[in-house]
Amino acid sequence: MLGKIVLWAAFNAEVYVAMYELRWMIVFATVLIVVDLYWGSRDAVSIRGEEWHLSRAGRRTLNKVIEYMTYLLVGCVGGLAILEPVGICSHLTSAAVGLGLGSLFEISSIIGHVLAVHGIRKRFNVWTFLMSVLGGKRRDISDSIDKAIEEER
């Protein structure tokens, strides 16, 4: 019994420290989710003419909260368990990479909603833009942007 209490106390303190260190990443993910909820609701109601339902919006938002916290925590725990002991990077870096990948999905969604609300019939693909910038050989940013913009079907 005493061993369980000591083990719980050790892990409990470590979890609190890790969550405290990740606080700004949690705030960032929350802001992205709220912004996507706002623009997605405007897109659905005013542009696509759908009826707004609290249950659907709440369910989708809660799913995103779970998904983005999962990206963050898997990155953090993976960093604590594997990457930090090997000396590759800290758990904060691995958590940032995990959340960063998830954030690209959310940013792409937000851009799509903003473009639709403003009547722009194009889609901006964040992944195509990122790969074009990272993989381009001395290509201008404007070329990467042009490559990432697609006509909406």
Residues 43-79: pLDDT tens digits?
887 777 778 778 888 898 899 889 888 888 888 888 8
Is residue 149's pLDDT more than 70?
no
Query: Using the 8-state DSSP alphabet, how is residue 80 labeled?
Result: I
pLDDT for 19: 82
CA distance 110 to 46: 16
Is residue 136's pLDDT more than 80?
no
Which two three-digit tokens encode residue 121?
């019939």
Run of H or E residues at 124: strand 122-124
- Bigger pLDDT: 129 vs 145: 129
The SS3 call for residue 19 is: helix
**How many CB atoms are located within 10 Å of the residue 25 CB?**
22
Angle value at C-alpha 36, between 35 and 42, nearest 5 degrees? 95
Query: Using the 8-state DSSP alphabet, how is residue 2 labeled?
Result: H
Using a cut of 0.85, tell me whether the model's pTM lies above it: no
pLDDT for 139: 59
Split at pLDDT 50, 70, 90, the class of 31 is very high
